[in-house]
Amino acid sequence: MFLIVQNDPLCPAGGLLPLLDSSGHPYRSLAAFAAEPFPDPESLTGIVVLGGEMGVHDTAGHPHLVRVLDFIDAALKAGTPLLGICLGGQLLSHAAGGVVSSPSPHREMGICGVDLNATGSGDPLFAGVPTPFVTFQLHNDSFTVPPGGTLLASSAACPAQAFRLPGCVYGVQFHPEVDRPIVDQWDGLFTPRADYLSGFIAAEAEFNAASHAILANFISLAATARLS
């Protein structure tokens, strides 16, 4: 079973869900912000840790983050495939000994291009993904590649966009899971209201091609890893 860890009620799984549906693998979502109990990571095929408006260090106001960090640590020890997205990638970096800057000089908002390095271009997570590729960003914080990790991608504004840890474990700074309703809702979080949706719609075909490939690749990689 795949487990989707949702850290924020406004940061759902979006486009990940139809890909899991089409894969045929069972899955469920866990609302970490609502204090739902975590399963044993050894029982899982793969884990996706989603984003959130809060930061890694905001544990006083969002104590569930401590439980998420403990769960990520347990997943790493169990060798369970894991993909951390935005805050999820920052939590993964932090749990593995990396540094998360908050606020960061590397903030990005809206549609952006991301460049794969030579290692990233050859990594199975990015199979079928061009470089540069179009993605969506909404982050004030940023991570470093943790010790033992490998940098896979960067952008003009943010030097660490994706990394891999030993096994099938990845952290990404960007949001491959978003769709129109999510971006529209996020626009409403700003005062005055932002308009990242129009840029998203204009780049939607390119965004979907790259993002769906990345998410589908992770699903396939995780399922294969658990069979080996």
How confident is the model at residue 213, as a pLDDT? 98
* pTM (whole model) above 0.75: yes
145: domain CATH number is 3.40.50.880
Q: Is the pLDDT of residue 228 over 70?
A: no
**pLDDT value of residue 68:** 98
Task: Report pLDDT for 210.
Answer: 98
Note the pLDDT tens digit of each residue in 53-112.
999 999 999 999 999 999 999 999 999 999 999 999 999 999 999 999 888 789 899 999
Give the count of domains, the chain: 1
pLDDT digits (tens, 9 = 90+) for 175-218: 999 999 999 999 999 999 999 999 999 999 999 999 999 999 99
- As annotated, the active-site residues are 86, 175, 177
pLDDT tens per residue across span 126-159: 999 999 999 999 999 999 999 999 999 999 999 9
Q: What residue numbers bound the domain in which 72 lies?
A: 2-227
The pLDDT, as a whole number, for residue 102 is 81
Tell me, what's the pLDDT at 22? 97
- Report the pLDDT value the prediction gives residue 45, as an integer from 0 to 100: 98
Say what the alpha-carbon torsion angle 145, 149, 151, 155 is, to the nearest 10 degrees.
-30
